[in-house]
């Protein structure tokens, strides 16, 4: 077992949380976008992650996080009657994204704290390795 495995694991987790934060910021930036059709309306995006397993040793626990992709939320769009709006369709409706700001804020806090936790893991591992190397002096 490599003693640097902890850095690889924490690094993959930080990359995953960074992607998650980018998607959250994109969702929040598009919360007020409006469209006249369902197909053109922005939909909230969420990342899909899985555990990276050690293929050489199936009994070994997970060794990191793998990003499988990004999916669009299937939550229905918000349809609003606004016949005076310039983007209204022929029936007088506009479509707003299915982004829930409260959920996005909660996800942002969760992703940020997870990223911070992994930074602390890296810093602690680095301190422990430094202390171990100084034992021989």
pLDDT tens per residue, range 82-130: 999 988 999 999 999 999 999 999 999 999 999 999 999 999 999 999 9
Number of domains in the chain: 1
Q: What is the pLDDT of residue 49?
A: 95
Question: Does the residue 103 lie in any domain?
Answer: yes
What's the CA gap between 80 and 22, in Å, rounded?
28
**DSSP reduced 3-state for 26:** helix
Is 60 contained in some domain?
Answer: yes
How much is the pTM? 0.85
Whether the predicted pLDDT of 58 surpasses 80:
no
137 lies in some domain: no
Percent of the chain with pLDDT over 70: 96
Which H or E run includes 90?
Answer: none
Q: Is the pLDDT of residue 54 over 90?
A: no
- Model confidence at 37, in pLDDT bands (50, 70, 90)? confident
- Cα separation, 81 vs 94, in Å, equals 6
More confident residue, 57 or 64: 64
Domain that holds residue 121: 5-129
């Amino acid at each position: 077992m490599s003693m640097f495995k902890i850095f690889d694991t924490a690094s993959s987790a930080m990359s995953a949380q960074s992607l998650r934060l980018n998607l959250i910021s994109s969702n929040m930036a598009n919360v007020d976008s409006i469209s006249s059709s369902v197909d053109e309306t922005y939909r909230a995006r969420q990342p899909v992650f899985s555990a990276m397993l050690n293929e050489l040793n199936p009994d070994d626990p997970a060794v990191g996080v793998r990003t499988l992709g990004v999916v669009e939320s299937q939550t229905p769009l918000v349809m609003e009657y606004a016949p005076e709006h310039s983007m209204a369709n022929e029936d007088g409706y506009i479509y707003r994204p299915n982004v829930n700001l409260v959920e996005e804020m909660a996800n942002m806090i969760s992703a940020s704290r997870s990223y911070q936790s992994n930074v602390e893991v890296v810093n602690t591992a680095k301190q422990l390795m430094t202390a171990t190397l100084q034992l021989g002096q």
